[in-house]
Amino acid sequence: MFLTFKYYCPKCRVLLNKSQYVELLVFAEEDCITKIRFNPKPGAYDYTCDPPIEFDKGRKLNFHCTDCKTDLQSPQFPDFASIIMKPSEQISFEVLFDRTAGQHATYVMTEDMVERDASHPQDLL
């Protein structure tokens, strides 16, 4: 895989990395309930929230860009959020991660393959 993990909003293209984390907003209905910061390495599922919040296991979360507030739900895979990873200026991949609290599944979509990092017992795509 790659050593650097820079992520961007698929709509406004703003850099989502803040310090050593990826930062997104979590919405419930139309209201932002917290800012979430998570590890940028695919397959690492540690996170913090500001303000702190406990998510009910199994709850679908709505992730949004911190800049343009676009809902990041994948149009092709609605159970997943979609962001762009650019390991270099010339290379970019779509990254899908499960929107369900407690489900650990991340997919890096390349032109000719899918790399899966998941503790979920079945392939979800």
Q: Is the omega angle on the peptide bond into residue 87 within 30 degrees of 0, that is, cis? A: no
Q: Is residue 63 part of a domain?
A: yes
Q: What global pTM score does this model have?
A: 0.86
Longest CA pairwise span in the chain (Å): 40
Q: What is the 3-state secondary structure (H, E, C) of 77-119?
A: CCCEEEEEEEEECCEEEEEEEECECCCCEEEEECCCCEEEEEC
Percent of residues, the chain, with pLDDT higher than 70: 86
Q: Residue 75 burial (CB < 10 Å; 0-12/13-18/19+)? A: exposed
Q: Is residue 26 part of a domain?
A: yes
Q: Is residue 38 part of a domain?
A: yes
Q: Is residue 2 part of a domain?
A: no
Nearest Cα neighbor of 82 from 72, 92, 91, 67 is 72
DSSP-based three-state secondary structure for 4: coil
Q: Is residue 45 part of a domain?
A: yes
Q: Is residue 60 part of a domain?
A: yes
Q: Is residue 123 part of a domain?
A: no
pLDDT tens-digit readout, 75-100: 999 999 999 999 888 889 999 999 99
Asked if pLDDT for residue 20 goes beyond 60, the answer is: yes
Cα angle, residue 87 at apex, residues 23 and 84 outer, rounded to 5°: 50
Residue 26: which domain range?
7-118
Predicted local distance difference test score (pLDDT) of residue 112: 63
How many domains is the chain partitioned into structurally?
A: 1
Q: Is residue 124 part of a domain?
A: no
pLDDT tens-digit readout, 9-18: 999 999 999 9
